[in-house]
Amino acid sequence: MKRLRTKLGTRNTIGAAIALLAISGLLASGVTPVAAQKPVVIGAAIALTGNLADSAAHVKRAYDLWLEEVNARGGLLGRPVKFQIYDDRSDAGTAARLTERLITSDKVDLLLSPFGTAGTSTASAVSEKHRMVMVNIAGASESIHQRGFKYIFQVVTPVPYYVEGTFPLAKKAGYKSLVFVARDYAAARDMEKAVRRWAPENGIEVKMVEYFPAATTDFASYIARARDIQPDIWVSVGYPPEAIEMIRQMKATNYLPKMFVHNGVSQEDFLKATGKDAEYALGMSLYEPTLPTKGNPEFVKKFKAKYDYAPGYYAALGYGGLLVLEEAVTKAGGLDQDKLAATLRSLKTETPFGPYAVSETGAQTAKKGLIVQVLKGHREIVWPFSQKTADAVLPMPGWNAR
């Protein structure tokens, strides 16, 4: 046994010496091993708690998947990559303060936006002040890119294009009236403008517009008003918890429009929480795991293997946004923020989320929306008609007819 330990010890010593010589040789030749180099640090303030946390969690999971992959393929610029992430508690003011900390105290190399429009608006004002690039992952409001900023670049589809497909579907069904009930934030105000533009073009009257504050859980008064108005279509924008409560409360009061449309329907959280009651609801979506986008089958396979569910558009946004950033850093050949901004402004590329291209203001111009419908427990694309995986079932069968 003593001889065996001696042999093993000798082998380990020889192995360590060989490894040391190899590293020394690399250093002598001017090549530093990836693990030994200073990491590229990507900073973000994101909602780990608060009313946006459930939705933002999908983005964070996509970040972690990309981090594993990018380091496995050698990192960025030959350096390992790590995240510096803080919890903004779903609060826009906190997001701004944490972005300041990431830039001035942590001195991160790259920045990702917070989750959602409100936090992205405040945080990007901070990054702009410091002339630092921010990749806008999920701030969908057009107003973010209407302030003359030079250092923010949008991956997410601008919010008016979320709702676009509602109107050809409604027109085909012969629907004539609509109510718009939305969380009160900038993206919803943008969507209202789009609704008021497209509705009359399709022979649809907007009969009610109502906004509710963040963290609202009681929608009884809005449902009661809609029952009196009897619109053909109910359109909402916000987050999955709101869509979940709307459907639950509509069922509890035996109310249902002919067409219920909410972007929250397009997330797995909605399907899990509402079960069979999710059937026939329509969702504004930006991505589905069945789309034939570049690298999507591989992304879906890896995401499902790691997290045991298929990615929705929040996850695809996070993953696609980091692929855009990775390509831009590689093309820019470094971390100089002005060069990186110029690269992101001219870059045209494809990711599992879809195409990326931006205007001079950094607003996404290449990616449009989808409308999905829950049919037999799965989301099916019903618009654009050229990409549909099923025909829309309209009107939605009433609660007593199911």
Domains along the sequence of the chain with CATH:
36-157+292-356 (3.40.50.2300), 161-285+370-401 (3.40.50.2300)
Helix 166-173 and helix 186-201, axial crossing angle in degrees, nearest 10: 40
pLDDT above 70 covers what percent of the chain? Answer: 91
CA distance 212 to 192: 14
DSSP classification of residue 398: P
CA distance 321 to 315: 10
Which pLDDT band, with edges at 50, 70 and 90, does 35 fall under?
A: low
Other Cβ atoms within 10 Å of 207 Cβ, number: 18
Which pLDDT band, with edges at 50, 70 and 90, does 378 fall under?
A: very high
pTM for the full predicted model: 0.89
Mean pLDDT of the chain: 93
Query: What integer pLDDT is reported at residue 396 of this predicted model?
Result: 98
Which pLDDT band, with edges at 50, 70 and 90, does 22 fall under?
A: very low
Query: What integer pLDDT is reported at residue 34 of this predicted model?
Result: 53
Contact 384, 167 (CB under 8 A): no
Which pLDDT band, with edges at 50, 70 and 90, does 373 fall under?
A: very high
Which pLDDT band, with edges at 50, 70 and 90, does 23 fall under?
A: very low
Query: What integer pLDDT is reported at residue 3 of this predicted model?
Result: 41
The candidate with the shortest Cα–Cα distance to 344, out of 116, 117, 112, 122, is 112
Which pLDDT band, with edges at 50, 70 and 90, does 33 fall under?
A: low
SS3 257: coil
What are the Cα distances from residue 185, in Å, to 3, 142, 237, 263, 288? 73, 12, 10, 14, 25
Backbone angles phi, psi at 332, to 5 degrees: -70, -25
What is the H or E stretch that residue 65 is in?
helix 53-72
* b (16+ CB within 10 A) / e for 273-285: bbeebbbbbbbbb
The helices-and-strands tally (H runs, E runs) of the chain is 13, 14
